[in-house]
Structure 1
């Protein structure tokens, strides 16, 4: 890692997982609890002896001082984090993110905090529908938000910007948050650029299918937008889609056989889905089998999920399933130190491990790296200045290199495939290796953005004269 400075309601839920799926899967309100609260602590680990994968720890003892900003004192740094774990229709939703940040706070405090200041974290539970209430509370008490992700962040973004609450989220959903001011992510997912590695890599794996693939459409507006982007990326990768005209009702169909017959008549031998692995998708796959179609399947990282191998272990109908990812597989923990470290820390804390947890971990480490550089001058302005200058970031090896400072995604990726109940890396052939290519970074059509961007690629919707911008 180098630095250029010194040194989505159920429908909403599934739509959210489409938006965040380029990076994440489930594979393993109000403030509800705090991490890093004052109390007896073990002797600090020397920062020089602590690493997270390939990243030298940004945590450690020091003599930073001063009440420099809201939530910062001589001895403490208050940060908010959280997820939607209290959502009644999906208990524990994305709790792996909060679990990860809680574990990382403890890990950092064991080393002495950030320059000697102890991190005190407030876990916020948005419970899907309470994102704005959470944001109002965070605005009143926290220095920053770190490693969080709220499915309905479109309801809270205006509040966040109005109170100048700088953020380093694990993921964003709404366009205005994805390209929001005062926001930097370990794994950026902007509206105007996309990582299309999975399409390019599938073209290498199955060159005979570049004229035989199609996209399965949906009535869900978010999926319609996602598919529009997928088509543009597929074209950039050399695919000439068949356009079979299959559109599935998001709320389900009484029978999927007529749609499967349409795929068969069209002659598509490969199918892309922007939907998550939900029962309706499994029913469509069953229908394909019933009519005698066995296509190569391709989807986002949401298909690297616990429900998929469990279902395939019983049916064997997803042995042709592929998912594109920019993260390392959890199965690669034995060869990727950062993945091993993440799983160990979260397991020790009794938390849940999944790709979104690694995503939250990366953003926490990004925040901590910038905070260390600020020293005693720990202000939101300093954090924005430092974060804007971090242009090569992989979370210590958790994922492909991104450019947080410029809100640009990776130009690398890998493809995983499924056999029975086991995932394995399908491309490139060497486990834990990514393939990188500048062609993988695809500019998306402005009609799909969902927001207006300024010349700095920041959403203009909630801008005000007091927004904190990086100093030149």
Structure 2
């Protein structure tokens, strides 16, 4: 029996949630108040050495007062967070995000909260199709949404904007959410500006192959859009891509051999895929091997994943895999922020992965702004503060971003896979990013999927009551 259009849309959006961030891989809620402590002064009085990586902790005791906004009292700040872990077709989807925020709430509350107010988190499960229901509930009780990631955020964006629910998402998927009003991300992913560092760095790693790469197409609309952006990034980096005409059915092919033969006839020696490391993709690379090809495989940070490791451990078919990232590798325990993130999450029995680090960065961004608001903890103050943060690396979790202006990093690094082990392939100094202003490129307006105003904010759901930064 054929699946209906709704089922196909859900599957496509599940993949989009994995694709959306160029720096993330796999590597109704319950109210919780992890940690405990008493109130003190209005500004943090935590010990001077309290840090997250290189970031001075925004958490601590204080005497902040006032029921200044929905979800804020003398003693508490209510925030919502969550993921799609209840999605039946992919149980536990992106659960690492709620695991991370749960751990960070506990860490912060153990220091005294934010200026003495304890954080009360509501851990929502959007289960893929319930994002709007989650947002409707959050609109009735939460101060802000923080560190969340919902694959179908497009269905919730109108509700979020209408109720002035300010947000610091872990990731966004839809164009209207990526450039949405009252929204700032620790790791920005706007529709109009892209970090093309991976293509520039691939060009440095294989300068003789700039005429030998091809893009693997897909029938999934979000991948089609992604490939259009990828093509512009490759062109900016000096690549002259081969058009091999390979377009794979997202739901699978009876045989991938004809597609592998097409690549062979085309003469491509390198392949970019915007897919994630899933069984259908592995079957494609088996066919590529059967055709006698041994190409450079190149993709987004979604390929920095446990599933790719498991497949390659036995097959070795991904030994030429490269993935571009703007995050430190999870293996880099020499980075204090990475080690601290892993220690905090595993102590609570949670899962660690790049999306978890991304949620952690957004939580810390939110907490940093909230601390500065002191007793005047309002959504207006939060937006004013967030809009002024223009250098942000999550304490060392990732390359420096500009969340206040919604601009991604102009830095990156490349990882490679051999057997079951990832290592940094570029630049040579481990744990270092290479940065260059030319890595940031403007994308073709035809790929945006939304209209932006002069402030680069999506206009679809704007209304006169939307909170904007005060000068």
TM-score (norm 2): 0.96
CA drift at 1:88: 1.0
2:311 is paired with a residue whose SS is helix
Superposed CA deviations along residues 161-220 of structure 1, whole A, max 9, x for unmatched, are 000000000000000000000000000000001111100000000001101111011111
Q: Which residue of 1 aligns with 2:346?
A: 347
Give the CA deviation at 1:433. Answer: 0.4
Counterpart in the other structure of 1:332: 332
Instruction: Tell me how far 1:37 sits from its aligned partner.
Output: 5.7
Within 5 Å, which residues of 2 pair with 1:299-448? 299-333=299-333, 335-448=334-447
2:438 is paired with a residue whose SS is helix
Aligned CA distance change for structure 1 residues 38 and 234 (closer, same or farther; 3 Å): closer
| C-alpha contact (below 8 Å) 1:99/1:357 kept by paired residues | yes
Q: Secondary structure at the match of 1:331?
A: coil
The answer to whether the 8 A contact 1:78-1:143 is kept is yes
Looking at structure 2, the residues matched to 45 and 66 of structure 1 have their Cα atoms a distance apart, in angstroms, of 19
CA deviations over 1:364-390 (Å, ceiling 9, x no partner):
000000000000000000000000000
Equivalent position of 2:60 in the other structure: 60
**Structure 1 residue 340: Cα displacement:** 0.4
The reply on whether 1:49 has 2:53 as its aligned counterpart is no
C-alpha contact 2:35 2:110 (8 A) present in aligned 1: no
Deviations 1:73-125 (A, max 9, x none): 01111110100111111111100000000000010011010011111111011
Structure 1 segments unaligned to the other structure (5+ residues):
1-7
Q: 1:14 maps to which residue?
A: 15
> 2: CA distance between counterparts of 1:186 and 1:336?
18
SS in 1 for 2:234: helix
1:36 is aligned to 2:37: no
Q: Which residue of 2 aligns with 1:113?
A: 113
Partner secondary structure for residue 297 of structure 2: strand
Kindly state the Cα deviation for residue 42 of structure 1 after the two structures are TM-superposed. Answer: 12
Whether the aligned pair in 2 keeps the contact of 1:41 and 1:110 (CA below 8 Å) is no
Helix, strand or coil at the partner of 2:371: helix
Q: Distance in 1 between matches of 2:237 and 2:184?
A: 28
After superposition, where does 1:26-425 map in structure 2 within 5 Å?
26-27=26-27, 30-31=28-29, 33-36=30-33, 46-333=46-333, 335-425=334-424
Cα deviation, residue 255, structure 1: 0.8
Question: 3-state SS of the aligned residue for 1:11?
Answer: helix
Please give the alpha-carbon distance, in whole angstroms, between the structure 2 residues aligned to 1:97 and 1:283.
29
Q: Deviations over 1:266-317 (max 9, x none)?
A: 1100000011111111111011110101100100000000000100011000
User: Could you say what the CA RMSD is over the residues aligned between the two structures, in angstroms?
Assistant: 1.5
3-state SS in 1 of match to 2:20: helix
Q: Structure 2 vs 1, CA of residues 197 and 39 (structure 1 numbering), >3 Å: closer, same or farther?
A: closer
Distance in 2 of aligned mates of 1:314 and 1:52 = 38
Counterpart CA distance in 2 for 1:372 and 1:40 is 17
Q: Secondary structure at the match of 1:189?
A: coil
Whether the 8 Å CA contact 2:38–2:116 is kept in 1: the answer is no
Inter-partner Cα distance in structure 2 for 1:39 and 1:469 = 34
Distance 1:439 1:283, change over 3 A: same
Checking the alignment, whether the CA contact within 8 Å between 1:47 and 1:57 is kept in structure 2 is no
CA separation of 1:111 and 1:40: change in aligned 2, threshold 3 A: closer
Q: More displaced, 397-406 or 9-18?
A: 9-18
Q: Secondary structure at the match of 1:332?
A: coil
**TM-score, normalised with respect to structure 1:** 0.96
CA distance in 2, matches of 1:38, 1:65: 20
Residue 98 of structure 1 aligns to a residue in which SS? helix
How far is 1:9 from its partner?
Answer: 2.3
SS, match of residue 332 in structure 2:
helix
Residues 342-371 of structure 1 show CA distances to partners (whole Å, capped at 9, x for unaligned) of 000001111110000000000000000000
Residue 41 (structure 1) shift: 7.8
CA deviations over 1:381-424 (Å, ceiling 9, x no partner): 00000000000000000000000000000000000000000000
Aligned-residue offset at 1:36: 1.6
On the 8 A contact 1:47/1:59 being kept in 2, the answer is no
Q: Secondary structure at the match of 2:416?
A: strand
**2: distance between equivalents of 1:350 and 1:49?**
26
| C-alpha separation in 1, matches of 2:38 and 2:348 | 16
Which is worse superposed, 44-53 or 363-372? 44-53
Tell me if structure 1 keeps the 8 A contact 2:39–2:112. Answer: no
Q: SS in structure 2 opposite 1:405?
A: helix
**Residue ranges of structure 2 left out of the alignment (5+ in a row):** 1-8
